[in-house]
Every structure is written in structure tokens, then in C-alpha cells.
Chains A and B, each alone.
Chain A
Amino acid sequence: MNSEIFAILGNALSGTTLDIVPIILVLGFFQLVAIRKAIPHLKQKLVGLGLVVLGLGIFIVGLEQCVFPIGTQMAQQLTDLTFLADNDSVKLEALQNAKHIAPGVYLWTYVFAFLIGFSTTLAEPALIAVAYKAKEITTGAISAWGLRISVALGVAAGVTLGVYRIVMGSPLHYYIVAGYVFLIIQTCFAPKQIIPLAYDSGGVTTSTVTVPLIAALGIGLASSVPGRSPLIDGFGLIAFASLFPMITVMAYAMITEKLAKRKEIE
């Protein structure tokens, strides 16, 4: 098992190294050609970049070894018709022959989607980085945990609704366009300071941890629900997961602003 793990670790490290090579090339080019200055603390920064690659590599191996296999398996089991029929052969046959499955059958899938969306987002390294920066700039007015929890709630709600859409088979763009309209109206009422951060948090949420698990869930579901194509209906969960955090982050800012005002009055 050990040699296997080292082989996987090697793979992951070369993967993250490939990720960072274009960045280093661009940084190096502009430093030399445009700025034309030696890089201060070069050694320290190289060590830091090494740490980023190493940390991300180890992190991904851990995910691939423990979280992804279980998560993927779980997504398959929860959407499996045999599980939905409680191992009851009569029910199973009814489900297999049904042209249309009542959306309520997938209750546990919704619960799983919500919880897995929430928990994977909390572990997302890119979000930790942005929350850290936001806290630093606002000198603590926007707490890192407050931001991360509201983003996580947004992803959870988004993925749940996205799963419901896959079960129902309704067109993706109705939901997304409605979400955009809601978002723009909400923007008019949100505190100005939060708007750019809120819009950024949409793109930040879906990376290393969330995407593979959510994609597994979407594809598992779309291949088990009768009448859904994994290729057409399996996509779209990430779009939901990028849309909803913007709404919840703005809501978070609106609530904290109101609370602060109320305190002032008292």
C-alpha cells in the first residue's frame, strides 16, 4: 500500500507543478522584461511556492484516497434504484417501469447534496485564501468564518436545487436566468462594499474539493433517473453552485449591516 501511495503522491505533485509552471513563467517574464528588478526575498518566495505545490499535492492525494472514493460510491448508492426501493422487489419493478419518478423519492439525495455542498465548500483552499484576504482588508469587519459559512450555505442550496432540476429535467437556463435577475435586484439593496466580494465568491467556491464530488453526484443521478441523459442533464450543478453563493454572501452582508445599525440605535 505504501509504495502505491508514494506513486499517487508523485502523480499529484507533478500535476500541481504543471499547474504552477505557467504562473511562474508569466511572473518571471514580467518581472524581467517589464519591471526589470531583482525579486526581493527570492529564496523565501521560492520556498513558499514549493510549499504551495507540496501542500496542494498532499491535500489532493488525501482527498483521492479517502474522500472521493467514498463520496462517489455514496452518490451512486443513494441514487441507485434498489436503494430507493428499500430493497423491495415490487417497488423496484414499479420504479424501473415508471416513466416518471416522483421527485419526493430522492429525499435522501437532496439531504446528501445539501450537506456535501456545505461541507466541501468549507474545506475549499481557494475560499480560505479569499476569506483571509477579505478579513485582512476590512480589519475583521467581515469575519473569515462568516464569509465561509455563508458561501457554504449558498453552495449547499444551489447544489440541492440543481439536483432537484436533474430529477425534474427542466431546462437549466430558466433557473440560471431567474437567479441572475434576482441577484441584480438584490445588488441594488446590498451594502456597496460587499458587492465585488460577493460576485467573486461565486467563482471561488468551485474548485479542487467541490467539483469532483458534485460532478460525481450529478452524473450518478442523471444516469439513474429514467429519461435523463448524463451528458446533457449531468452538467449544470457547478453553475448552480457558483450562482447561489453570490446571493447568500450579499444576504449575509445585509443582515450584519442591519444588526450593526440596530445596535447603534440602542
Chain B
Amino acid sequence: MDVVPIIAVITFFQLAIIQKPFLQLNQTLFGVLLVVMGLFIFILGLESALFPIGEKMANEFAIKGNPWWIIFFGFALGFSTTIAEPALTVIASKAGGLAAGAGAIENNKDSVANFVLGLRFTVAFSVGLAIAIGVVRILKGWPLIWFIVVGYSLITITTFFAPQEIIGIAYDSGGITTSTITVPLVTALGVGLATSIRGRNPMLDGFGLIALASLNPIIFVLGYGILVYGAGGL
């Protein structure tokens, strides 16, 4: 069911607009079968492992009552999953090539590798920080919207000082940081925490961790751009 729309769109465009037959139809059909099967197995694992683990951990932390552990846990989870994120590695190395081409950093292997590593650490640190802040927000029960308004204002202000080359990358980095395995775990953590603490509503307080994890990297990458390129101004 979940992949039918993709297949419909691609078939329509191939046959009606581009008007060429499919190359390697067999292989394509086999691929579709794999997609459907893989999704089914993934969801099975989601329900039997990722969701219960996230909730159980949140629950245990709430019972333990020491908030520092769970804040630290949030940071570690955000940092470690982001530093390993393949999509981030791809975008970071593209950004490295761009920076070298623009003459912002020296155009040799070492300085590009440094730039890429710096960018990855920046994003990973900002995601860790975002989840830690998000956990504090759930513990305190503060409304999410204040964080969003402050975050967006910071992004808008920083954008005006940021060099043009980094803006697209920065805005994109917000969306790619949260991978398919991280999202269910972080969601279960937030919801579990909000369920375990008295007076918190899982709907109002439980969600919002991903939102912060998508917002914070934008600010930090813009900042990183200013640091590397120097203030650009628009």
C-alpha cells in the first residue's frame, strides 16, 4: 500500500510523458518486491524493539528522578546518531567542495577534510544540544512555541550575516539530521517521558524533540559558515 503511489507516478511519467518503455522491467519488479518486504519487516521491528526500548528508558529515568542523567542521555543520543548519519556525510562533503571552490578554505585534501569534519561535528553537537534542551522542556512543561519563535528569529537574524554559500546547506541540514532509526526512538523517548511525569500531556509535551533537532542545526551551521567564510552580509 505504501509504495503504490510512487510506482503509479513513475509509470505514468515513463509511459505518458517521456514515452519510452522501461529498461530492465524484471529488475524493477524485483526491487518493488524488496521495498514492500523491507518496509513490513522494519515496522515489525519498530513495534517489538524501537518503541518499547525508548519508552522503557524514559520511564526508568523518570522513576530514578535524577534529571541530569536523562539530559545527558538526550545529548548523547542526538550527538552519536547524527555523527554517523550517512545523509549528513554526503551533504557535508558537497559543502566542503563548494567552500574550497569559492576560495573560503584552501583547496587541498586536508583543509577540505577538516572543513567537512568540522561541519559534521557542528551539526551533531547542535542536534545533541537540541534534544537535551527538548528534554528540559518536557521536564519543565514549557510550551514548545516559545522555543520555535526564538529559534526562527535567531535563524532569520543569523541569515543576514551569513555568507550566501552556506545558506542553502544550512537550511537543508535541518531536515536531514534525523534518520529513520533515530526518529522512532526519539519520539518514543519524548512520549514516554511525558507519560511518566505527572501533569504532562503526551500530545502537548511528548512531541517536539524532532522539531528542535531540525531547527538547531540551521543556526549552528550558519554560525559555522560565518566562522569559516567570515561574515558575508546580503
Contact = CB atoms under 8 A, between A and B. Distances in A.
Contacts of A177: 156, 159
Interface string A53-80: 1111111111111110011001001100
A47 B53 CA distance: 12
B211 A59 contact: no
Give the dominant DSSP class at A's interface: helix
Contact of A129 (B101, B183, B208): B183
B51 A133 contact: yes
Interface stretch (B5-13, B104-112, B113-121): B5-13
A151 B177 CA distance: 18
Highest count of chain A CB atoms <10 Å: which of B42, B53, B76, B159: B42
B45 A51 contact: yes
A192 B204 contact: yes
A34 B84 contact: no
Given A26-B76, A59-B35, A200 B44 contact: no
B159 A67 contact: no
Contacts of B92: none
A176 to B, nearest CB: 6
Contact of A202 (B41, B182, B211): B211
A238 interface: yes
Interface string A128-168: 11101110011000000000000000000000000000000
B148 interface: yes
A111 B11 CA distance: 14
Contacts of B85: 19
A55 to B, nearest CB: 3
A29 B34 CA distance: 34
B203 A193 contact: yes
Contacts of A138: 203
A200 to B, nearest CB: 4
A22 B174 contact: no
Contacts of B101: 231
Contacts of A233: 168
A19 B181 contact: yes
A59 B174 contact: no
A238 to B, nearest CB: 4
B53 A27 contact: yes
Interface stretch (A89-97, A98-106, A205-213, A257-265): A205-213
Interface in B30-87: 30-53, 56-57, 60-61, 64, 69, 73, 76-77, 80-81, 83-87
Contacts of B30: 5, 65-66
B176 A206 contact: yes
B229 interface: no
A51 B41 CA distance: 6
A236 interface: yes
Nearest to A184: B149
Interface in B1-25: 2-3, 5-6, 8-10, 12-14, 17-18, 22
Given A202-B211, A206-B175, A232-B164, A184 B191 contact: no
A67 B31 contact: yes
Given A54-B41, A59-B42, A129-B46, A66 B35 contact: yes
B187 interface: yes
Given A61-B34, A172-B168, A196-B144, A30 B46 contact: no
B34 A62 contact: yes
Given A5-B30, A52-B50, A123-B2, 19 more contacts: A15-B86, A23-B185, A47-B48, A48-B45, A51-B41, A51-B49, A56-B42, A62-B33, A62-B35, A65-B34, A66-B32, A74-B13, A112-B13, A119-B5, A122-B6, A129-B183, A171-B234, A193-B201, A238-B176
6 contacts: A56-B38, A59-B34, A74-B10, A74-B18, A119-B5, A129-B183
Interface of A: 1, 5, 15-16, 18-23, 25-27, 29-31, 34-35, 37, 40-41, 44-67, 70-71, 74, 77-78, 83, 108, 112, 115-116, 118-120, 122-126, 128-130, 132-134, 137-138, 171-173, 176-177, 180, 183-184, 187, 192-193, 195-197, 199-200, 202-209, 211, 231-239, 241-242
Report the 6 A-B pairs with minimum CB-CB distance, sorted nearest first: A48-B49, A66-B31, A59-B38, A62-B34, A235-B168, A51-B45
